[in-house]
Chain A
Amino acid sequence: MRFDFNQLLTWIAPQSRVLDLACGDGSLLKLLREQKQVHGYGLEIDPKQIETCISRGVNVLNQNLDRGLENFETDSFDTVLMTQALQTMRYPHIVLDEMLRVGKECIITFPNFGHWKARYHLAIRGRMPVSDLLPYEWYDTPNIHFCTFTDFEVLCRQKNITVLHRQVVNEQSVQWLGDLAPNLFGETAIYHLSK
């Protein structure tokens, strides 16, 4: 199981309606169906990933998030999820607004660009960070809008978004350091939001 899934599972009510944006291979939706009996849909644009979702028997819809969520009604889902994809959005702030419109609650996970490894790359080596967490060169990456935990906090404050829970998860670094100084030592943030 992917390391950010464990935490967000606890924030999703059994039998609720879930929309998973950029759902990838559908493994989270499958997990949610098996463990929480949710009724879910995933949005995805990669043909191979869509095929895998279909094989897993999860509902997958071929939809580009840059098109927005205008085809989904306000408050039509209990939870709208997006894991590790915020940084790939053309307009992350608009996607966030749309998630909070369509869902009563949202869960977002994203990589922390303020992590010490990223800072080290930029500050000491003077290079854009390339790591095992973010393995792309700057000129050829799906990740076009990076932020740090602090940046995301500021955006939530500006938009008057309620943060129900926030959690830092570390796959490789030490968890207690991440808890102590999340913006420096946290690898992945999981935010549980509502309007």
Chain B
Amino acid sequence: MTQAFPADSIGLVAPQTYSFTEPFTLACGRTLEQFDLVVETYGELNADKSNAVLICHALSGDHHAAGYHSSEDRKPGWWNGYIGPGKPIDTDKFFVVSLNNLGGCSGSTGPGSVNPETGKVWGADFPKLRVRDWVHSQARLADRLGISQWAAVVGGSLGGMQAMRWALEYPSRLRHCVVIASAMKLSAQNIAFNETARQAIMADPEFHGGDYFNHHTYPKSGLAVARMIGHITYLSDHVMGEKFGRELRSGSFTQGLDEAVEFQVESYLRYQGDTFSDRFDANTYMLMTRALDYFDLAREYNDDPATAFRRAQCDFYVASFTTDWRFPVERSREIVDALIAAQKNVSYTEIESPYGHDAFLLPNEHYRAAFGRYMAGIITE
């Protein structure tokens, strides 16, 4: 059968699993004796191994960032709009590495894996992870791939937090840090959204304190509600209004008729929740949202982000989106201000977009141009 992928797509891609058997001590003090990471790579590593770019995924992302797994795939990877031939992260120029983070549910070791010590599924007993644990595991992956220094570490949202942590933990191992729609720490409101989502999962009787695998149940409805809450916060009021308004999917308000009414937005959100809970794992969702909440870039630097960033040796590109209220422009401005105080090279773009937090995944001319030009500058330096 002939493949008909779009010309600007990387085309068919396949994930690979890397096993790490050296003990890995986590920020919480517990140790994983071994772990697997599922990884996709796009493009070719050059002779001096200087063109590697690490993609750090956000809350619900995975290793499949670009291209297609089969010709039947309806959708490409989650960041296909920005990774591919001629795209900002140009696979003709860069060797792109994208992984499913530790604790994930797309093949890397996580709560759904078997704990080799007990022979049982980890479930809720899987160690709590922090962003730095991901960074350290990604550094092991870099070692395995023979990459001593990334041309860039790139991430949006929770991925941006990993990129910043990279700059502090391994200053000499990256030349550029790209931080998109992110923050140095979450606000109380942000933590509140995450906690509400977690409570929705925990309130599902099928959750069993995270031990649902051994109970042969699955907290599907709880995870769906959690996703619905998240999804609302990733969109803007404007976009929801444009997309759904008060359109009805069924029923009517005709006087004298007692019909069940369903708004389009209700049906849409339920669909989002349903499809997400089919593919994602509830314990991973708990773990990822907690890692988001715990992240505080400057906690160990006297709560001074400028002091933190003084450790960094790389250059930075920061981008935010005007209608993003989950990671608002103010959070990105704080990052930029701290970088300036630390006398780091940084460029910052505030991109007009109606699409809220989701904008970092969506097509946008200025975003594509600015991001693309920054990345192009990395190639020619």
Contacts and interface: CB of A to CB of B under 8 A. Distances in A.
Given A50-B370, A54-B373, A62 B349 contact: yes
Nearest to B374: A54
A189 interface: no
A51 B366 contact: yes
Contacts of A51: 366, 369-370, 373
Contact of A61 (B336, B341, B352, B377): B336
Contacts of B70: none
A117 B150 CA distance: 57
A62 B340 CA distance: 13
B333 interface: yes
B349 A50 contact: yes
B345 A59 contact: yes
A18 B46 CA distance: 37
Contact of A55 (B343, B349, B352, B377): B377
B248 interface: no
A62 B348 contact: yes
Contact of B348 (A39, A60, A72, A73): A60
Nearest to B366: A47
Contacts, number: 51
Question: How many residues of A sit at the interface, in one of the four size bands?
Answer: 20 to 34
Contacts of A10: none
B337 interface: yes
B233 interface: no
Given A54-B377, A76-B341, A59 B366 contact: no
Contacts of B26: none
Given A41-B340, A54-B377, A72-B340, A61 B369 contact: no
Contact of A71 (B333, B346, B373): B333
Nearest to B343: A39
A61 B349 CA distance: 6
Interface string B327-352: 00000010011001101011111101
B341 A54 contact: no
A76 B373 CA distance: 29
Contacts of A50: 347, 349, 370
A54 B370 contact: yes
A17 B341 CA distance: 11
A58 B348 CA distance: 11
Interface residues of B, number: 22
B142 interface: no
Contacts of A73: 341
Given A71-B333, A72-B340, A59 B376 contact: no
Contacts of A71: 333, 337
Nearest to B365: A47
Most B CB within 10 A of own CB, among A39, A47, A61, A62: A62
A14 interface: no
Interface string B347-362: 1111010000000000
Contacts of A60: 347-348
B373 A55 contact: yes
Nearest to A60: B347
A168 interface: no
Contacts of B374: 54
Contacts of B366: 47, 51
Interface string A32-73: 000000010100000100110111011111110000000111
Nearest to A73: B341
B260 to A, nearest CB: 47
B370 A61 contact: no
B144 to A, nearest CB: 32
A59 B346 contact: yes
Contacts of B348: 60-63
Contacts of B369: 47, 51
Contacts of B317: 54
A55 B376 CA distance: 8
Contact of A62 (B345, B350, B377, B381): B350
A62 B381 CA distance: 23
Contacts of A55: 373, 376-377
A61 B347 contact: yes
A54 B372 CA distance: 9
A6 B333 CA distance: 33
A50 B370 CA distance: 8
17 contacts: A39-B343, A41-B340, A41-B346, A47-B369, A47-B370, A50-B347, A50-B370, A51-B366, A51-B373, A53-B347, A54-B370, A54-B377, A55-B373, A55-B376, A59-B346, A62-B350, A71-B337
Interface of A: 17, 39, 41, 47, 50-51, 53-55, 57-63, 71-73, 76
Given A17-B343, A54-B349, A55-B373, 16 more contacts: A41-B346, A51-B366, A51-B373, A54-B370, A54-B373, A54-B374, A54-B377, A55-B376, A58-B347, A59-B347, A60-B347, A61-B340, A61-B347, A62-B350, A63-B348, A71-B337
